[in-house]
Amino acid sequence: MLSPQPAIQLDDVSKRFGSRWAVARLSYSLPAGRSLLLTGHNGSGKTTLLRMISTATFPTAGHIKIFGAETREKREELRHDVALLSHASFLYEDLTAAQNLTLVAEFLGLDQRKELVASLLERIGLTSRADSPVRQFSAGMRKRLTIARLLMKAPKLALFDEPFGELDPAGILQMENLLRELQAAGTTIVLATHLVEQGQALTQERLHLDQGRRENP
């Protein structure tokens, strides 16, 4: 059964960096279990919005509620349920792929970590490189490892910022299948991408941003 609370509730949300408003007075609501396509030109505020929803940063004004909980007040609890795949990989370059994933599993307090890490590495096709340091990885391999990092959390809300970038055609197909699997499992998804047609085929709602404001696409 879907949660009665919206997965994401934006109330007059603004975010300022210096004198520039990256997001300006944005209001929007996304029901739980639905998927949202976030579009807009470079610098339109997509990444900032995703970072605010993920609790990596907070609004300068307005409120964001995730499953009914205000992000600033309930950040600790929400961080267990929300995962972000961002431009930055969050990976440690000097640790191996397996060590990076094991570390996340340990921080999350998960059991049977060895099996979990092995199965995730197999799922993303990096089993043979499990013991290689991330520094030796290509951009596409890093992206796949970042996806495994996200899957480790089994989030209720998954945020994807340009997930198709740096992936080869096989990787893009894998990513599309992953997004469909997550949706089928009831995960709420927000997908920010410039590949609008591809994104629309994978999502149910659309929010277009222009200079931090909601606009008609």
Task: Choose which of 103, 130, 172, 195 interacts with other proteins (CB under 8 A).
Answer: 103
Site stretch for other proteins (CB under 8 A), options 62-70, 104-112, 169-177, 196-204: 104-112
d(CA 43, CA 41): 6
| Closer residue to other proteins (CB): 76 or 197 | 76
Q: Total residues contacting other proteins (rule CB under 8 A)? A: 33
Contact between 150 and 83 under an 8 Å Cβ cutoff? The reply is yes
Q: Is 33 left (phi over 0), alpha (psi -120 to 50) or beta?
A: left
Instruction: Note whether 173 binds other proteins by CB under 8 A.
Output: no
Instruction: Note whether 95 binds other proteins by CB under 8 A.
Output: yes
Contact between 82 and 55 under an 8 Å Cβ cutoff? The reply is yes
Instruction: Note whether 104 binds other proteins by CB under 8 A.
Output: yes
Burial class (CB in 10 A: 0-12, 13-18, 19+), 74: middle
Instruction: Note whether 115 binds other proteins by CB under 8 A.
Output: no
Contact between 144 and 125 under an 8 Å Cβ cutoff? The reply is yes
Task: Choose which of 110, 130, 172, 195 interacts with other proteins (CB under 8 A).
Answer: 110
**Residue 145 host element (H or E):** helix 139-152
- Nearest alpha-carbon partner for 161 in 27, 42, 17, 61: 42
Instruction: Note whether 12 binds other proteins by CB under 8 A.
Output: no
Task: Choose which of 80, 122, 173, 181 interacts with other proteins (CB under 8 A).
Answer: 80
Instruction: Note whether 48 binds other proteins by CB under 8 A.
Output: no
Instruction: Note whether 215 binds other proteins by CB under 8 A.
Output: no
**DSSP state, 128?**
G
Instruction: Note whether 89 binds other proteins by CB under 8 A.
Output: yes
φ and ψ of 135, to 5 deg: -55, -30
Instruction: Note whether 79 binds other proteins by CB under 8 A.
Output: yes
Binding residues for other proteins, per CB under 8 A? 51, 54-58, 75-76, 79-82, 84, 86, 88-95, 99, 103-104, 106-111, 133, 153
